[in-house]
Amino acid sequence: MSKTEYNPYDEIGGFDTVSQLVTAFYKRVSQHPTLVPLFPEDFSEIARKQKMFLSQFLGGPPLYSEEFGNPMMRKRHLRFPIGEKERQAWLECMAGAMEEINLIEPWRHIIFERLSLVAHHMMNQNEII
């Protein structure tokens, strides 16, 4: 494989690393007072979907699309109130998970920046301060 064919998915270690990241992430979400009310008690299915989505998002196999079609993440999340507080909490959990699994640089920074854009796109609540 030439260097131009590399992608975050391959560079970070593929599905094993994605799985570790998602496990560390949902461990944090399950304890975060801002996020836990937005999620089901059992994280198994949502974690499975997140692993599939992140694999695809990072340049790996299109696991999510193969099972569920176009990700349309914003549309799928519209039923949940997501404002700045929720966005920030989600990103904090993801940053902590990346640190916990020692996700390698420069991919940690690159992936976090891409996920920050996604988290901003998910916002559907305007908060008045």
pLDDT-based confidence at residue 128 (cuts at 50, 70, 90): low
127: in domain: no
Do the beta carbons of residue 119 and residue 77 sit within 8 Å? no
**Chain-wide mean pLDDT for the chain?**
90
CATH number of residue 77's parent domain: 1.10.490.10
Q: Tell me the per-residue pLDDT of 27-37, one tens digit each, with 9 for 90 and over.
A: 999 999 999 99
Q: Tell me the per-residue pLDDT of 68-112, one tens digit each, with 9 for 90 and over.
A: 888 777 777 767 788 899 999 999 999 999 999 999 999 999 999
22: in domain: yes
Query: Which of 85, 25, 87 is CA-nearest to residue 54?
Result: 25
How many CB atoms within 10 Å of residue 43?
17
Residue-level pLDDT at 3: 45
Q: What is the pTM of this model?
A: 0.89
Domain enclosing residue 33, as ranges: 10-122
2: in domain: no
94: in domain: yes
